């Protein structure tokens, strides 16, 4: 899913001029609800230097967990990210004739 037929990596726009590789998304966590387990995960990742902040100074709404253990903070909702990723996949399916 992450690489197109020509071998290039697919990117998804995550707001404010930032892009994230689709194959680096392991999980999306909603930060708007203020769940304690996710907040602890983010706090621990900050201590280890494993945070990539793509919020551009705005409120964090999503934490993206990557296979490498990094956490990417985004200012858009998890639903928006999921929609952009699945929208990209459905466009490819139509283009491939499925």
In-domain check, residue 69: yes
Residue 1 placed within a domain: no
Taking only the tens place, the pLDDT of each residue in 75-88 is 999 999 999 998 86
* pTM (two decimals): 0.81
Tell me the pLDDT tens digit for each residue of 38-57.
999 999 999 999 999 999 99
Is 75 within a domain?
yes
Query: Is the confidence at residue 13, as pLDDT, over 80?
Result: yes
Question: Does a structural domain hold residue 3?
Answer: no
Answer whether residue 95 shows pLDDT above 70: no
Residue 38 lies in domain: 11-91
pLDDT at 3 over 60: no
User: Is 46 part of a structural domain of the chain?
Assistant: yes
In a domain, 4, yes or no: no
Q: How many domains does the chain have?
A: 1
CA-wise closest residue to 83 among 9, 6, 28, 42: 28
């Amino acid at each position: 899913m992450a690489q197109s037929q020509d071998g290039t990596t697919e990117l998804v726009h995550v707001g404010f001029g930032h892009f994230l590789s689709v194959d680096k998304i392991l999980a999306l966590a909603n930060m708007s609800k203020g769940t304690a387990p996710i907040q602890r995960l983010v706090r621990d990742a900050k201590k280890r230097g494993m945070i990539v902040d793509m919020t551009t100074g705005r409120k964090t709404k999503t934490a993206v967990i990557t296979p490498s253990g990094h956490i990417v903070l985004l200012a858009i909702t998890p639903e928006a990210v999921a929609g952009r990723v699945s929208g990209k996949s459905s466009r490819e399916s139509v283009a491939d004739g499925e």
